[in-house]
Each structure stands twice: as C-alpha cells, then as structure tokens.
Structure 1
C-alpha cells in the first residue's frame, strides 16, 4: 500500500512535534538479541501453538503460558543487559519473500526503551508484576492518522549516508516502504502507558491499558486508566539490506501481511526487582539513553551474562526459514496482499508439537563448564576439527569419543578439541559461565565456548555411539568466529558420503524438521585414522531437523589431502586480500576437494585452491607464492573431512603436475612485537598508533563499525576520520570500530602481544577482544560529535545517542 504525499507530510510533521520530548529521562537496552524465535504467544494463544512466528527477547523461561511467578522463577538469565529484567518482549518475525516463492527469515535484534513520560506532576510508576499488554493489531489493514494506537506503530528506512534526508518517500511511515533500505529496516512499537489500576490483562489484551489523552507517547492519562506506568518502546532492527529488493511484497510479516500494517508487539512483565525501575524514575535525572547514567541500573548491568544467555525451554518443532528457505510461512499464513480479508488455507498441515531446545548430552558425557584455554599450548591436543555450520556439543563429543578421548572442548562456536589430559596450563577449574558466550554453530540454543574459553565435556569411558539428532528446529546463525569468512553462494557440490573414496557403511535415521548432520566415523580409533563431523543443510526446504547419517570409512593412506584424477596436491600457501588465485571463485558449505577441482577444470584453470573449508579459488598462475605450515595453517576441513585450507591459507592443487608439496615450509604468522607495527597502508595526517586495548561485548568504540577481508589500518583510520571520529580500532584483522572516547568500561591498555593478528597488508590487526588503536590526538580534544547519523549495525549498542527525534518517541 502506498501512502499519499500529504499523509507522509503529516507523518513528518508529527515527528517534528515530538522533537521537544527527546530529552525525557530514559534508558536504552541496546543490542538486545532474541532469546528464541518460535511460533508461541502466551498472551494471545496460551497453552497452544501460536498463529505466527515471533522474535522473542528477554528471559529464557519464555513458554506457551505466562505467569509472573513462573517466568521469573524459570528464567535463569535474560538477553537484556539488566539481569533482573526477565520480562519478555516480542514482535512478529519478518521474512524475505524470495523470487522463487520461498521464504527466508531475516535476522533481527532489538533496542528496548524505558522512558519517563507524563504530564507535569504525574506520578510515574513501574509496571505491576503480572502485567501483559499488546500494542498494534495483526489484522489491521488501514491507517487512521487520528488514532493513537495506529500512530504508535511505524517503520523507519535506515540510510546513514544522508542521501535521502528530507525526502517524504523515506520518512517514517506506518507500512512497509516501496524501496530497499540501505542500512536496514527499523520496525517500532510504542506501548500504552495508562493502566486501569485493576486488571493485569483483558480479553483483547488492550482494554485494561490506554494511551494518554494528548498523544500516544506523552501526556495525561484518562480517568478510566489513571495509573501512569513508565513508557515502554522498542525497535526491531531487521537486516533487509542483506537481501535483494524486488518490489512490494518482498518483505512479509510472519502472518502473511505484505503491507506491514499488521506489525505489533507484546510485553509480559518479568522484572524481579521493580524497584530498579522506580530508581530510574526518581533517581536518574541525567539518564539520556545510556544505562551507565542511572547508578542503580549501572550497578547491576551485565553485558556478558546477556550475551551468554541461552533459551532452556521448548519451541515449536518446525522449520522456520533461518537455516534454509521454506516453501510456506509457519502456520496458516498464506501471503496476504492489499486491504482485503486474510486468505484461508484449507489444506493447512496439522499443528506440530513442541521439542526441547536444549538436547541432552550423549550417554556418559557431563558438562564440566567453562574453562580457560591453555596459555602455552592448546588445552586439548589429541585431535581437532572445525565445523562452521553444524558444530554442537554432541557432534564434538561423538568425534572425541570415536577417537578414544575422554575430554571434548568446544571453542569459538565451531572448533572442537579432544584429549585425555589438559595441557598448556589449562585445568578443570571453571570460570564464570558467561565467559563462554558463543552459541554453537549448529544450535543457537547451546553454548560452545568463547574467545580463549572452552566449554569442556568429560566422559571417563568414551564409547563409539554416534550422537542423536543434534540441532533444534530453529538454528539461527551463531556468533561468528574470527576468520575471513565470506557469504556462501551456490556452487556445484558433492555429498560428504559420496566423496569418501573407501568403502562405507551408511546408517541413516530421519526426522522431519532439523538440519542434516553427517558423521564420518572410522572403524577404529587408531592414531592414523581421521574423523570429521560435518553438518550439511538439507536441500529440502521443508526439512530442517537433523537427519543423522553415520559413515564408517578407512583412514586415508597419506597425510596430505587426496587429489583424484590428474590433480596433485601442491602444498599450503598464504592467501591475501588481493588473492593468490585470481581466475574464478565459488563457495559452498558442501565444498569438497573434487568439487573445487571440477569447478576450476570446467573454467579451464590449472590451479585449484581451497580456503576456510568452503571457499574455492582458481587460476593458471599464483600471484605470489608463500609456502606456510600445512599442519598448522591448512587445518580446516571441507564437508567430507578432507583438509581445505584455513584462515588466509590455501590448500593448493595443480592439474597435470608431478611434483610433491614442499617438505619444508615457512610459517608466515609474524611474531608479537613490543610496539604497534607500522601499517603498510597510509593513515591520515595527525593519526598515530596508540597501542593495544581491550574490547568487550558492549564495545569500547561504538560509533561506527564495518568489516572487510581487505582491512588495513589505513582503510580503518581513513573511514573513521571521514565519519568525524578521532579514534579507530582494528580487531581480528578485519573489523574496524570507530568512536571518540572509550565507552562501557572498555578500552583499557593490554600488553602488545594480545594484538597478535595481522591485517591483509601485514599491519596491526588487533586480536580476540583486543584492538589495535589509532587516534588523532588533536581531534580528541574537540567537542565530541553527535552520533545520531552514524551507522550502527542491527545488533549494535545505541548508547550515547539521542532517543530518536521521530514520532515514535
């Protein structure tokens, strides 16, 4: 639905009217992630499967029914940075309607606002325990400009370039835009703040609440609803910029609505200490968004605990479109265009049941907890593999068990390590669980270590039983590991089972709605055998529950990767942002060596190189050859278990060659230096290196960020300078963070050896939660710029900026 220029002008005018209100006391719980994405709604559809999908943030005790006591007692953590806020906040999920008719769930995250708004002299109070409410209407098909309820729901198209400032077609509006949004879509809902003082709910989940008389976001409460609670508002940031836009209907709400008019939000009160809200109301006059400006909240804020929080309940057992496109929206939700009645679905499948998000560990295995990685060597050195798609606790445990090891440790979401003893100074002494904050690559509801932290599993008598289905129905992308990963595109693939050259025995168990997990298990645990567990997403869009396939094979006879036909292994070489092989490339999470060789052969190239377990590069010559340690740096595995390069490392193959790989290699990783290295790329005048500084989940510099496989200190500093910032930090070789002052307690000095990663040109690139800092000292002495127009990622913290000057506030 397109709105007239006059209506858009009215929306702009309403935003201007709201401008004087932005200075009200408020805090923003920025970058709040979903705790679960599923088809449950304990307010509207209690005790049963809900009508459509929701993104739910907050307490991990969310389930299909609600009571204040149950939510607060069942929630062991929350994705909100205040541990005492076990409330749940949810909105309908938003899908990308692909051109082939399938649907993909788009990533989203929340900013949650608590605002002290009211008429002069009003007493503002915390929401009462047990309060639930709904704002917006999933069945709304028109917009009433005079309705506070309609005004409270809107969309903002984000474009931080400023190219569309003042353009009515880009102004805040009540429905989806008819064009793409370069920096994402912000869907927002403002809840009514006037309570009748009696009922915690009502039949329509709205009548016990009311918007103020004067405006939906401020003013005096009506006499029928005299109790003025603190205003709650949230923004859901949706990464529409990651997908193509092909006209109206590209974006679809989970209930099938292509207009966006049916966007809505639900709130279920779960604060275990409402006194903290009272302190915000009464004792924090300077709170202007930043939680640190309210002492009572700052004292309990715990970003690490929020990052480590995992859902521990049940979710609907169905594919949801996060790991693979689905042919229909979950539930009875056909595409619903225009203003007419919602279409029916006479052939709707029966409602699915619920399944546990947290699967039990394999028999005999126990979770020891979170431990610190070894300091002089790896804690577990017996065997290892990496799986950026399907890693779970059980796939790692199965891998280690079948190698005969008693310990299994998972790190950085996707790395599995095995051993019988802990080495390198590591021990079974556990640290706080929130230090293991990474979700497993194959199950977002499990924890798989963190930076320099292992989730440690133990089994004193490991067996050889393969794991059961290992990922829940919804398995969204996990926390990224530090690597030169690139988006996966379609490529010719071969299955893991078919690419094993030795005779195999295949045992398959099927289950209808989880990702496929393939286990390649050796017939014995001899030292010479190799075992890899790899996960492959099913090509069937209606199947997203793991089908576990056990493949038993003999180990390869040579230590180097196999190269069938006329292709011969030619060593491990260093890659760079300019690429060693520049002829053609492809990538796939089902990549194998034969697949890459066939691809390059079909393009007429004589060299094939595999990198990062899923990337394939071709050429007829190497732009530059630097041989590196094959065992240490070409260690990642393809989907069939063969070694396929590493981070900036290529497993190289040559067609028609008769030579063997070099027997001596040079490790290219530069040693740690005592001072920041001089970047090979130029940095702006006035900028200097300022050492190594600590970063964290809440980010030391949060003004602007971007990533690039071609990152250099020059690129990062020049970009930050162009955005008006005086400080830049390069992290993990490819991330650039900009800001002025260090924030959120981060930015303190680290020893230089913590910044041990290099950028594409060999310059200083920070490390794991460590940034190589550059700054313009003269600019730092000037007044700090406003960050209002600075780009933030959908999950970035929005502390320090003004509460948006738009109608929603």
Structure 2
C-alpha cells in the first residue's frame, strides 16, 4: 500500500524541470538559414551556437544530422543565434565586442551564450503538460526593423558583474557598464500545434509572458500547446571600451544590423534535440546542473564543447578595427 501511495503522489506531482546550460561559440559569420535561407553571405553578422549541421540552408530533422554540438547537453543539436555587438569609435571605425561566459556556468566555455528551457515560470510548470518542439521546428523573436521600445522578453542589462540580472532595460544602457552588457532574448511559449514555421517565423507562436521568468498566462485557443520557454543570455565584454566612450555621452555600441538603440534586437531558434531527449527532460523533475550526467540528459565536458565547429563560408574580416561592419556599405569620405 505504501509503495502505491508513493507512486500516486509522484504521478500527480507537477514536473519542475528547468534547463540552464552553456553553449560555446560554434561560428561567427554572415549566415541565416531562417530569414535568408541559401544566401551566402546573409545581410548581417551572427553569433551561432549549437550543432555542427548549421549551414546556409537547413531542413529536416537537425537532431539526426549533426556530429557534435557546442552545448553542454550532447543530445542537443539545436542552433541558437543572435546579432553581434560592435563598438563604434568616435573616429567612425568599428570593433567587435568580445563575448564572456556566464559566471554560473563551468569555466573555460569559449564565448557563446547561456540557454534556458523553462516552464510556466522559473521553476514550475504550473501543473501543465510541457510539449517538446518537433523536428523541423523553428522560430524568431524580435524584428531588426523595429522602431519601438519595450517588446516583451527582449532586454538589456547593465552589468555590475557577471551575476547581475536586474534592472532589465528596453534598449542600450546610456552610460558605461562596469561589468559589461547582457542581451536577453525570451521566446514565446504557446504553439499552434500545427505549423513548424510560418512566413514571418513568428505567427505560429504566441506570447503570454510579459517579463522574464514570471508566470505565464494561459495559452489561447489559437495556440493551445504549451512548450518550454526558450531564452538566451549573452554577455558582452564592453569594459575594454569604457575609456573611449564619446564625449557627448551618446551610446557607442551598435548591433550588427546597424542598430544603436537596441529596438530591433532579435534571436533565432532551430530545434535539433535528438529523439525524445527534450521531452524526457520536460517530463522530469531535474533542475539545471541536476539534469546532466544521464539524469535524464547526456552531457559533455567543456573541452568537447569548444572543439565543435563548422567551416567558415564567408571569408571576411570580422575582427580588428574595421571601416564598416560586415555587410555594411563603406561611406566614402
């Protein structure tokens, strides 16, 4: 009787799985298989992490195509990418801002970002079934042409140190940040249950979260399937540019599609978890590092994450002091 009671409690209890893990940089180049499939180069520079099946064009079950991944979980061949940040010097030249690893992650991760898969809020699914994405699924959050501030889930944080998480800002900080700048991208978590993509890469999803990691509202009938909320945090080491801040106090940082306000910050996601691995994780009660080492997900060492890479298809200078950002027209003086 006692064992049956224990089993009943276990089955009735909501799962509380939440994944937080690091992914080192896979590549930094102008490729975008979602918005500009097949185009080499794409319009602007991206930082990409995840599986090595990443290419200018991607289709099918990505989880079965890769041979390595830059992410902690070795069953995750998904790809995650964002625009790159540059510093614009008062003399008009540009330099790419280096990426730092999150202090909450193992040491030695090469740049990259922190990825989250959370449920209704930071540590609970609210008694709802969380459904895994399906092979071929993809989505985008944000729009590089946006001219408005305050899009839910898209934030900047002026870091005192790598552990700073608040306050969240709608656009670029207005003064030098002692510990760097963090960009935050939260994706919607309600899916229509039918389409793996949509023409704008967003309409098949619906957002019910107003702020990061807060309880999500109920999914509407048009998008009834609750999926995990995917989020990225990228830490940019802006500290080395503090002494070069413009005298007029204007923000000197710009995202790689020529956005100095931050209104158009955006991120792309292409699902590539192998088999049923993500569903098993969402059905479990593991939290963060507790999900590693087969409980229930396979994980790998940092050196294996860092070794995974893809071939550079766009041969252009992305480092040093540049007259223009990659893809940007050089203005003649």
TM norm structure 2: 0.81
1:185 counterpart (176, 181, 184): 181
Q: CA deviation at 1:236?
A: 0.8
Q: 1:116 aligns with which of 107, 116, 119?
A: 119
Match for residue 227 of structure 1 among 225, 228, 253 = 225
The residue correspondences of 1:677-716 to structure 2 (distance < 5 A) are none
The secondary structure found in structure 1 opposite 2:168 is coil
> How far off is 1:293 after superposition?
8.6
Deviations 1:708-763 (A, max 9, x none): xxxxxxxxxxxxxxxxxxxxxxxxxxxxxxxxxxxxxxxxxxxxxxxxxxxxxxxx
Residue correspondence of structure 1 range 100-115 to structure 2 within 5 A: 100-108=91-99, 109-115=112-118
How much does 1:231 deviate?
1.3
Indicate whether 1:76 and 2:77 are aligned: no
Contact 1:131–1:200, Cα closer than 8 Å, also in 2: yes
The residue aligned with 2:200 is 204
In the TM superposition, structure 1's runs of 4+ consecutive aligned residues that sit over 4 Å from their partners are: 213-217
Task: Measure the CA separation in 2 of the matches of 1:272 and 1:79.
Answer: 14
How many angstroms apart in 1 are the aligned matches of 2:267 and 2:77? 17
Counterparts of 2:154 and 2:145 in 1: how far apart (Å)? 13
Contact 1:28 1:291 in 2 (8 A): no
Unaligned runs of 5+ in 2: 1-14, 100-111
The higher radius of gyration belongs to: 1
* Cα distance in 2 for residues equivalent to 1:214 and 1:248: 29
CA, structure 1 residues 213+88, in 2 after alignment: closer, same or farther (shift >3 Å)?
A: closer
| 2:139 counterpart SS class | strand
Answer yes or no: is 1:242 the counterpart of 2:240: yes
What TM-score does the superposition give when structure 1 sets the normalisation length?
0.35
Of the candidates 37, 42, 46, which is equivalent to residue 37 of structure 2?
46
2:22 corresponds to 1:25: no
Q: Secondary structure at the match of 2:44?
A: coil
Separation in structure 2 between the aligned mates of residue 210 and residue 171 of structure 1, nearest angstrom: 25
Alignment of 1:552-563 (within 5 A): none
Distance 1:153 1:289, change over 3 A: farther
State the distance in 2 between where 1:268 and 1:215 align.
Answer: 23
Aligned partner of residue 137 in structure 1, secondary structure: coil
Give, in angstroms, the shift of residue 332 of structure 1: 3.6
Q: Report the equivalent of 2:50.
A: 58
Match of 1:125, SS?
Answer: coil
Cα distance in 1 for residues equivalent to 2:120 and 2:277: 17
* CA-based RMSD: 2.7
Q: Secondary structure at the match of 1:330?
A: coil
State the partner residue of 1:267: 269
- The number of aligned residues is 296
Structure number with higher relative contact order (C-alpha < 8 Å, ≥ 6 residues apart): 2
Q: 1:51: how far off? A: 1.3
Q: Distance in 2 between matches of 1:75 and 1:68?
A: 12
Rounded to whole Å, the distance in 2 between the matches of 1:224 and 1:42 is 27
User: 1:220, CA displacement in angstroms?
Assistant: 1.4
Give the C-alpha shift of residue 139 in structure 1: 1.2
Aligned 1:392-431 pairs, distance under 5 A:
none
Query: Would the alpha carbon gap of residues 212 and 251 (structure 1) be closer, same or farther in structure 2, given more than 3 Å must change?
Result: same
Compared CA separation, residues 106 and 318, structure 1 to 2 (3 A): same
Match of 1:34 among 25, 49, 67: 25
* 1:491-536, Cα deviation, whole Å (9 max, x unpaired): xxxxxxxxxxxxxxxxxxxxxxxxxxxxxxxxxxxxxxxxxxxxxx
* CA positional deviation for 1:141: 1.6
Which whole-Å CA distance do the structure 1 matches of 2:162 and 2:196 have between them?
A: 44
